[in-house]
Structure 1
Amino acid sequence: MASHGEPRSLDIPSGDIQVVARVVQLLRLLGEAGSIDIVSAAQELGVGKSTAHRYLASMENHGLLQRRDRNRYEFGTLLAELGTMALSRLGVVNLARPIMERVSNRVRHTVVLTIWNGRAPVVAQVHEDSSRTAHVSIRVGSTLRPGTAQDIIFRAFQKESFNLRYRDAPGDFLPGLEDELAEVRRTGVAIRSSASEGVRAVGVPVRDPEGMVIAALAVVGVTSLVPDDEDSDVVMVLREGAQAITQALRSSREGAGE
């Protein structure tokens, strides 16, 4: 019997441990390949196809996977939600807050930090500008529709992120989007305007210290007040802000490792 104060060992059935280990194996394979099917899952686990199918079906039922087509699986909504929470807990949102305030004060527009939830961009942090009579308000937690500047950023740099996966090809939802995505990858900035709403958004990617895209930083304002030039002062300040967030993440990690 363990003495008082000693940690209590958990009696975990060996079968449960094997199940967890196999699920982790499949998730690692998924992270490397972007999608998995029954054949690749069976080969990874060293089991028959029927056993592999049971694992994939169970993971789908619990939201870890979702079907890309009849035989192929990709990241599920639960993994995306957990990834979003992990990004927040890594300090991205908190570290970005003072930097967003500085960017907003310089450009005199609302500044938005957006992360990907597995299906769409979600607003994680907002610094609203009120220095102008006409300005844009955005609610934290809002899901942005396809075709916004932030959505374009995530789609353009999906291969440079751990968790950006799409059920359809990136250019399927808007005609000719592939050309725009290529241009965004070249310039590092996405600019989108909504004539019906009278709003323009300018977005840039935010990267972690390893260079992976983890968020989008955007200026959102009234169309007539936000320049649509990729070399504008707004773009310059946004890029500086994104770099400052990356540096803040690097410093935070180095400090935590001391």
Structure 2
Amino acid sequence: MALHPDTKPAKEGLDIPSGDIQVVARVVQLLRLLGEAGTIDLVSAAQELAVGKSTAHRYLASMENHGLLQRRNRNQYEFGPLLAELGTLALSRLGVVNLARPIMERVSLQVRHTVVLTIWNGHCPVVAQVHEDGSRTAHVSVKIGSRLRAGTAQDCVFRAFQSESFHRPYRSGPADPVQEQVSGLDEVRRTGVAIRSSASEGVRAVAVPIRDASGMVVAALAVVGVTVLVPEEDDSDVVMVLREGAQAINQALKASVESSAD
């Protein structure tokens, strides 16, 4: 079979359908390599594609520009924010939102506060589902689709457990514009719960991670209420109920995967 002068043979083991666009196939090659290795650099990209370093650099630079990759350091790339966003959206469509809804209602009835499910969109936490409490005169309303700022309880959950998720939402260092706003992440990792208050808004949120069948953090479940009504202790009844709710969602996700495999 004759090859176009600019076309190199496909790497052994990679099935590229006839008529497939070469650039797309190469991008897929690099993403598969990244999925296996966790990071990718110029040398490994060039070897994977069987091309020169200048060609590999163009692929990496273009993928970074479009959000498919982001730099971990000067020489290494990792999954970018677009992939994190698309992966999170796919997760939500695979059932985490639907599975969480009845459990959120149960948690809300027990603690008498608004319960919020948050996912990561590649840049920040986004509210995916809300069960609003109406049993108290004073309660908190949260809109679905709201983007949460850095330093919120949900944000701290994603930040604290980023090494156990499919994304790297933050790069620490002096250039990190939000680094000084977030503290206490070691405590969040130790206790498994983030508790944060806003004095200006009079609101306190308590958040815990939600994990999929493989143990990866895919969402955060939070109780949000008026500061004076939400305990700030990490062993309160609210925290206990919230943890039970998160565990129930974890089990529901695991059961959903197992039933799909049957």
Instruction: Give TM-score, length-normalised by structure 1.
Output: 0.86
CA contact (8 A) 1:34 1:165 kept: no
Work out the CA distance in 1 between the residues paired with 2:69 and 2:104.
34
Change (3 A) 1:169 1:123: farther
Decide which moves more: 247-256 or 86-95. Answer: 247-256
Cα offset, 1:59, TM superposition:
2.0
Equivalent residue for 2:189, pick from 158, 162, 185: 185
Equivalent residue for 1:252, pick from 241, 253, 256: 256
User: Which residue is 1:217 aligned to?
Assistant: 221
Q: Secondary structure at the match of 1:47?
A: coil
Cα offset, 1:62, TM superposition:
3.5
Is 1:89 paired with 2:127? no
Q: Please list the CA deviations of residues 43-73 of structure 1 after superposition, one character each: whole Å capped at 9, or x if unmatched.
A: 3333211110121133234432245666554
User: Which residue is 1:102 aligned to?
Assistant: 106
Cα offset, 1:42, TM superposition:
1.9
Counterpart residue identity of residue 166, structure 2: F
Q: Within 5 A, what are the aligned runs for 1:44-55? A: 44-55=48-59
> May I ask how many residue pairs the two structures share in their alignment?
246
Structure 2 unaligned spans of 5+: 1-16
Q: Please list the CA deviations of residues 204-242 of structure 1 after superposition, one character each: whole Å capped at 9, or x if unmatched.
A: 000011111000000000000000000000000010000
User: How high is the sequence identity, in percent, across the aligned residues?
Assistant: 77
Change (3 A) 1:169 1:118: farther
CA contact (8 A) 1:227 1:234 kept: yes
Cα offset, 1:251, TM superposition:
1.5
CA contact (8 A) 1:154 1:164 kept: no
Is 1:198 paired with 2:202? yes
Q: Within 5 A, what are the aligned runs for 1:160-175? A: 160-169=164-173, 172=176, 173-175=178-180
Is 1:75 paired with 2:82? no
Change (3 A) 1:232 1:148: same
Change (3 A) 1:209 1:69: closer
User: Which residue is 1:113 aligned to?
Assistant: 117
Counterpart residue identity of residue 196, structure 1: S
User: Which residue is 1:153 aligned to?
Assistant: 157
Q: Secondary structure at the match of 1:219?
A: strand
Work out the CA distance in 2 between the residues paired with 1:254 and 1:121.
28
Is 1:144 paired with 2:148? yes
CA contact (8 A) 2:172 2:179 kept: no
Counterpart residue identity of residue 38, structure 1: L
Counterpart residue identity of residue 136, structure 1: V
Work out the CA distance in 2 between the residues paired with 1:53 and 1:81.
24
Change (3 A) 1:32 1:143: farther
Instruction: Give TM-score, length-normalised by structure 2.
Output: 0.85
User: Which residue is 2:4 aligned to?
Assistant: none
Counterpart residue identity of residue 30, structure 1: L
